[in-house]
Structure 1
């Protein structure tokens, strides 16, 4: 009877240890997979990085890009995996870890505090990384940024609300009032980003302070910090979910409204394909972390796997290179109307193109230096001509402004 009572007494504790261990195992697999994906993505896009980044001067945009590359690998590979998920089994709250300094009289560090500090520092670093991901698009080519201001301007909503002075000469369209209103609305997202970061920092600090680091009952079998995280940590992601949802909806709405009547330009299609997907994936990751943190059966996987860190970094670098690939040609063209068709009616179709000429700035980026309007008509064999007083005038003009 005494043995049975003793087993039932420790059963809740053993069940908790088993739950933590099971989730930690999945988190380990996800963390290793995440760092493998980061390295794979870096290696497969190294040629693009050399072409679009290494040849440029050191600017804030380049620093942000490199931080987006290095910081996630450092966080997962140097902090999360060795110090949290695979921490030595003998690091338990009942022992103390001697300082690595030569003089042991400096004293020891209680492992409960050590685990909490490591988890807290990792959480703060993830918040910083998400802010970096929001601002990494500042390194886009000037030619692309020019059309972005003309058609969406969404990539400059974050960090300091930068409106690029090099492209202030943009042509005002008939919807310029709407465009100005859009720019003002995007600037309103800046305090939203500040509130989101502040709210996440406060909630993370509160939750980690309430985290319980358990004694490892089986040091020969279990690894890592055995921590019980409070379910209230989902609040740290809630503001981020709302923020990403607002940004995603604004992007899709703006692109479709600008394409109404004119059709989607190549850049707008690129933004819809990659930009919207970028924020959609970020929204999905934030939603996974938020919902997963609300349930004890998934809370460790959602917070300790590094999934949000790895995938958001990969998506950020992908959209960065996608925009550079789009502007790799000598010109960025905005086309209006469908392409010419062949046949007898082709002679009645006139298409227009704005060809934005690009020059290189001192920082290696390109900017519009002139606006060329070209009206093309079908070949002479199919062309339409107008006879005026015996003179043949062919409808084919090229205007440069």
Structure 2
């Protein structure tokens, strides 16, 4: 058997150096992503205790806890990036758990976004079915293609087990596909939010709630889309493909922003009231609709309520914050009991 020549040795060294650089970049970005997620969990823990722990068990709360816990577990598997001499069985098991776990968390976050936009559009059954069908139409074919390509990937023996950590696999040419389809669906959800905000604004029905939903949705979309673009484009570059796909960066960003999305909405509703057991029922309410009014004065007051003046009470029936009459007066008593004369109705 002929001994390797200088050309073979140089090629071997070049390959080891390339793999080492790719792995180092993946490890560094993984540490950054894990740190961001942990810091976000710690800084939002007081809000979580107030707005989540004391509330009833709803769909949103269950998804919140799954997102928090499972994302942390998945990033914990990235510790394998720092381990030497991983066996083939361990390497394959950890890689599959991370891959499918990431897809699972993305589905959890998508379900929260679906519920959110469904409530914004008035909890219409047909609209919810369209959202679910569109999500399945995008996700199922993508997962089938991804599974086929994943089955073609093979484990590669580590050429320098004392220098290179973790485990190596043959490149997956469509590893970025689930992220692209995910970005497309995120864009659809955000576009629906923008359209609803624009429509209500044209009808002079913009309220603080609408502004909060639009602001939170915009922040989530910008962060997630930028992270997704980095993941998709980075997967095409040989030097940063490992960091883009295997570091958990997009997972950390989506998990953090989804948690903040839920906490921000609950904080808005609890801004001026104590947390009660039925507090989270607000999350299952559609946006307020304006009752029909017949006289011009009523229309003026109704429009004033919809405009969302800061610090005023927008509950119905409307109570004028500038009214100095005592709360126990007959006028206010009739308001609480729902008895109005024709002239008093607003």
**TM band (smaller chain):** 0.7 to 0.9
Name whichever structure is richer in strand by fraction: 1
For 1:12 and 1:120, the matched residues in 2 are separated by: 30
For 1:62 and 1:241, the matched residues in 2 are separated by: 24
Correspondences of 1:25-104 after superposition (within 5 Å): 25-77=24-76, 79-82=77-80, 85-87=81-83, 89-91=84-86
Distance 1:267 1:8, change over 3 A: same
Distance 1:290 1:398, change over 3 A: farther
Q: How large is the RMSD of aligned CA atoms in angstroms?
A: 3.5
- Whether contact under 8 Å (1:26, 1:301) holds in the other structure is yes
Normalising by structure 2, what TM-score? Answer: 0.74
Unaligned segments of structure 2, at least 5 residues: 274-281, 291-299, 309-314, 325-342
Q: Write the deviation string for residues 158-211 of structure 1: whole angstroms up to 9, x where unpaired.
A: xxxxx4xxxxxxxxxxxxxxxx6xx74554221222233323433332333333
Correspondences of 1:142-291 after superposition (within 5 Å): 149=119, 152=121, 163=123, 184-185=126-127, 187-262=129-204, 264-291=206-233
How far off is 1:304 after superposition? 0.8
Unaligned segments of structure 1, at least 5 residues: 92-110, 154-162, 164-179, 337-348, 357-369, 380-396
For 1:200 and 1:7, the matched residues in 2 are separated by: 45
In the alignment, what sits opposite 2:94? Answer: 118
For 2:101 and 2:126, the matched residues in 1 are separated by: 30
Normalising by structure 1, what TM-score? Answer: 0.65
In the alignment, what sits opposite 1:390? Answer: none
- Whether contact under 8 Å (2:25, 2:243) holds in the other structure is yes
How far off is 1:375 after superposition? 5.8
Correspondences of 1:222-371 after superposition (within 5 Å): 222-262=164-204, 264-330=206-272, 352-353=304-305, 371=316
In the alignment, what sits opposite 2:106? Answer: 130
Counterpart secondary structure, 1:233: coil
Counterpart secondary structure, 1:352: helix
1:373 aligns with 2:318: yes
How far off is 1:234 after superposition? 2.3
- Whether contact under 8 Å (1:238, 1:290) holds in the other structure is yes
- Whether contact under 8 Å (1:275, 1:319) holds in the other structure is yes
For 1:186 and 1:6, the matched residues in 2 are separated by: 65
For 1:280 and 1:134, the matched residues in 2 are separated by: 16
- Whether contact under 8 Å (1:252, 1:272) holds in the other structure is yes
For 2:47 and 2:115, the matched residues in 1 are separated by: 14
For 1:398 and 1:43, the matched residues in 2 are separated by: 51
Name whichever structure is richer in helix by fraction: 2
How far off is 1:269 after superposition? 1.3
Distance 1:322 1:44, change over 3 A: same
